[in-house]
Chain A
Amino acid sequence: MYVAVKGGERAIAAAHGLLAEKRRGDTEVPELAVEQIDGQLSLAVDRVMSEGSLYDRRLAALAIKQARGDLIEAIFLLRAFRTTLPRFGASGPLDTGAMRVRRRISATYKDLPGGQVLGPTFDYTHRLLDFTLEAEGDVPPARTAPVSEGMMPRVADIIGGDDLIERNPPENPSRPIADLTREPIAFPADRDLRLQNLARGDEGFLLALGYSTQRGYGRTHPFVGEIRMGEVDVELFVEELGFAVPLGEITLTECQMVNQFAGSKTEPARFTRGYGLSFGHCERRAMSMSLVDRSLRADEFGEERKGPAQDEEFVLSHSDNVQATGFVEHLKLPHYVDFQAELALLRQMRQDLAQSTPAQEAAE
């Protein structure tokens, strides 16, 4: 005798209890502190802040702990928190030219004002497992060159000084900057909206799309003009005071890609730009973003759109991993009503066939 399952509420509570226990893991092992995640899994924190669209290291670290290290789940937690926060204003544009640089490399010039600064990078490490990390041990303090107080101009500005790269459009205060968290995306989208979408887009998705452009699906002939990472001041213009107030500093990674030139009979040829920016130290995503940004500008430069990375509706509609994971995973919700409708039709179609087949045979 079938008894209608009434255990939904209890089952959910029990599942959440199990989840909490699994998250904690072996209680013989000390619990992971939020500070440890922030300090020792800092690149995970950077990614969660970038895709969660919220610069708060502590909350991102907490989200990673709560999500048991599932970064997309952590990003979701941060987004759901972010959306409840009141908006009291928008900062002024950040000046990455005034960044207190900890890493800066250019692939277009051997040397340049400010020099090449490697900073903390995996580049040139040999990817050999370091078994000494299994034991606890102190790390000797790293040797660094004194921070040069001198100028470190952006490479794009150096090229721009010779008028060899497209000029950035002038600021237009009368045109508000798009915000996809306040207005749904409509197509065609302008570059500001596209950049906002890419800035919070899934790193794996951006990486794959960027990679596809290198393999010929919408090639853009990119050079890394510059990648820079460091701290930038954030300022808010306060109407009542009449001047900008510093709010603090954030760590950013910026990638300026220098791409295939464009020009015409009347317009001198110039290189074109692809731009990538992310919170924290997220070089891979900043580079991928700049490749995709440039690809999405195909129409602007009269390029034929033939790769997925050039298709803005495809890219912008599928870049958000919180949306994507929700919809993919909703397939595990009950669908028995619709499945029953399909079953009924399938059975009817088979019955129709069974009834018509003997009749046909008899007729022959």
Chain B
Amino acid sequence: MYYLGIDIGSLTCDAVLIDDSEKILASSVVPTGARNREAIMRAADEVLRSACISEKEVTATVSTGYGRKRVEGRLTAVTEITCHARGIKALLPGTRLLIDIGGQDSKAIELDENGQVVDFAMNDKCAAGTGRFLDAMARALQVDIEKMSELDNGARGNLTISSMCTVFAESEVVSLIAEGVKVNEIVYGLNRSIASRTLSLIKRIMPNTNGLPIAMSGGVARNSGVVRAISNAMESKVVIPPMPDTIGALGAALIARERYSHN
């Protein structure tokens, strides 16, 4: 039997296919774009093709992410908080704090020793410090978003990006470039500002994380510069699972298996 998890995020649509033994058979990440139904089909097609499985052979599908209720034929829709927690429990058991930064949401999720969600906090009023924020900053810096990870190399780190609003931060970055500030310093400053926002989410639910296993998921976890900044801000190691952007979809697939067996 096969179980499919689909995570429809604001920037990417991810799919993970697992079998009855919870083995990951295939995963895919496609841009969501303006038409999320097409992205859902593409992501699902990709994993099915890569695992040589037909759609009919999928026993149950669970969807998550902001477009979770747009997936037809789903067993159920579950929020990304629960799915990321389930996914990280499978890959990094024992994690007590999961930081998930996606396209437009950042979340701090507190887990108990069994991997159950105990508390969570999310960005509410605005999407500064998320994937879209990084996209906008890469645009302002005229650099490839994929290369942002290493662009802070060698920064002395005395620059702070003070604007909280994405649009204002973009102007601030443009001004800094005009003043001749080096790109690595600007990127370091941006990473620190994301880390500071993330830290305030974390502290709201977990004032003390000393010695607890911490992991990070979501597309932004692929940016090692941001991860380093968060790790420095927390004075703790932050572990990144393999393919961090598919953790939500993996959690959804695992929940599909559990719910189907339970029903």
Do A and B come together as binding partners? Answer: no
Interface residues of B (CB under 8 A from A): none
Interface residues of A (CB under 8 A from B): none
